[in-house]
Amino acid sequence: MHLAAQLPGIHNVTVWSDPRSRSQIGVDSFIHLAQTAERGKFDFFFLAEGLRLREHKGRIYELDVAGRPESLTVLSALAAVTTHLGLAATVNATFNEPYEVARRLATLDLLSGGRAAWNVVTSFDAFTGENFRRGGFLDEADRYDRAAEFLQVARRLWDSLSPADIPADSGTGEFIRPGAGAFTHAGRHFDISGRFTTPSGPQGHPVVIQAGESAEGREFAAAEADVIFSKYNRLPQARAFYQDVKGRLAKYGRSPEDLKIIPTATCVVADTDEEAAELATEITRAQVSPQTAIAHLEAVWGRDLSAYDPDGPLPEVEPLPGNLLLKGHSVFRGDRAATARRWREIAEARGLSIRELVIAVGDGQTFVGSPGTVATAMEHFVTTGGADGFVLVPHTTPGGLDDFVTRVVPLLQERGAFRADYEGTTLRDHLGLAHRRTSREAVR
C-alpha cells in the first residue's frame, strides 16, 4: 500500500487545544511531521491550501486554523531536511497563472531531487475570489476546463527545458542550446509565448494529484492525474468510487496502475481495542466541540442558532437555504435544505442531540484498535479493492503520527503490505509511476 501524511489544519480534524499540540504554522512542526513520515517510509507529505480564511457570521472561523503559510515555500524548506519523502503542495488553478506555478514546481522538483507533487484544485466562489479582485472569476462549469488547460500549459513548459538543454560545455563554448525553453500556447484561457527558465527535475514532471469527486472531477483525474485523493474511507463507498474512477482510465489509453486512489483517513492506536475505542470517542468529542456543533448546524440551517443548547434537540425552525453563515467551507456547498431534512430524520430516529448528530454524520475515526487490529483493517481495505493506500491525518500537531509509525508500520512491513525501505529516490519511484517527459517535437 501507499502511505502519505497530511498536516492537519482544515475542517475540524485538529484538536489544537490538546496539551500535546504545538504550533500548526511553525517550521518545527512541519519538520517533525515530515521527518516522522520519512522514518515510516511514507510516499509523500501533503499540505492543503486555503486562499482565504473561512468566516463564520462575518468573523474569522476560529475553530479552524487561522493561518496557513504558502505550501511551496514550506516544502522547499522541508526538501533540505528530508532525503526521500515526496513533497506535495496544493496550488489553485483558478487564481494562479501557469508560468509561475510551473516554475515554482519545477524549482521544488530540482531542489528535492525529483520529489515534487502538485495537488491541482479549483475555486468556485466569489468569497475566495475577493482576495484577487476577480470575484467569482469563472462559472463553476468552466473551472475544470481552465484547470485542464492550465495543466496542459504547465506540462508544455516543463518539457520546453531539460537539463540536457544546458550542456555548459567549456570546450565548445556552448552553455545553452538554441531554442531551449521556447514555448507557445494559444487556447481559450491562456495565450502565452516566451522562454521558460527552469529545467525539469529528475522525474520529468512533478506528480499530479487531484481531489474532485464530481463527475467532472473524476473524468479530469482519469485523464490527467497520477494520484486522486478520495474522501471515501468506508469500504462499500470506497470500492464503488475505486471501480468507477479506475473504469474511466481505458478510454484515455491508461491502465489501472497509472492512477493511485488514496483516501484520507485517521488512525487511533492503543494497547487494546477497548482502550482505542475509548480514546477514539474522546478525540471525536474534542473535534466536535459544543461550539463546532452549533457552527456546523448554523452552516446548514443558515440561521443564528447560538441560543440553542448543543446537548439539546434540533431546532424546530426550518432552514433558510439561501442564507450562508459559514463561508469558504466546501463541506456545506450542496443542497442544504436536503441536508437539513436528512439530519432531522437521523436525529429523530436515533434520539440524538445537536452535538451527537454532528458527530454521527461526520466521518468519525477510520482505523481504531490495537496495532494489530489497525494493520489488519488497513491491509484488508487495500487488498479488497477499496484503495491503493491512505493519506493519514493526525488529530494533533506535530506528534500525531508518532504512534502509528512506531507501532503499526513495522507490522505492515512484516506482512509485506508496505515497503521495508525506499527503493528509489523520486516520488514517481515510490508510487510505481513512470518518469514523464514529452518529446520536444510534441512541445513545439
Buried b (16+ CB within 10 A) or exposed e, 299-319: bbbbbebeebebeeebbeeeb
Q: CA–CA separation, 262 vs 239, rounded Å?
A: 12
Query: Residue 240: which residues within 8 A CB-CB, separation 6 or more?
Result: 232
Please name which of 231, 279, 213, 273 lies closest in space to residue 393, comparing C-alpha atoms: 231
Say if residue 71 carries a ligand binding annotation: no
Q: Hey, CA dihedral for 233, 17, 329, 342, is it positive or negative?
A: positive
Q: What is the DSSP string of 109-146?
A: HHHHTS-EEEEEE----HHHHGGGT-TT-S-GGGHHHH
Say if residue 242 carries a ligand binding annotation: no
What stretch of H or E contains 264? strand 260-265
Say if residue 90 carries a ligand binding annotation: yes
Q: CA–CA separation, 312 vs 110, rounded Å?
A: 56
- CA distance readout (Å), 97 to 41, 205, 322, 391: 34, 17, 33, 28
C-alpha cell at position 142: 468552466
Q: CA–CA separation, 304 vs 325, rounded Å?
A: 8
For residue 167, cis peptide bond before it (omega within 30 degrees of 0): no
DSSP E strand boundaries for 160-206: 182-186, 191-195
Please name which of 365, 362, 373 lies closest in space to residue 411, comparing C-alpha atoms: 373
188 exposed, middle or buried (CB, 10 Å; 0-12, 13-18, 19+)? Answer: exposed
Q: Name the binding residues.
A: 90, 144, 214
Which residue ranges are tagged as binding site for FMN? 90, 144, 214
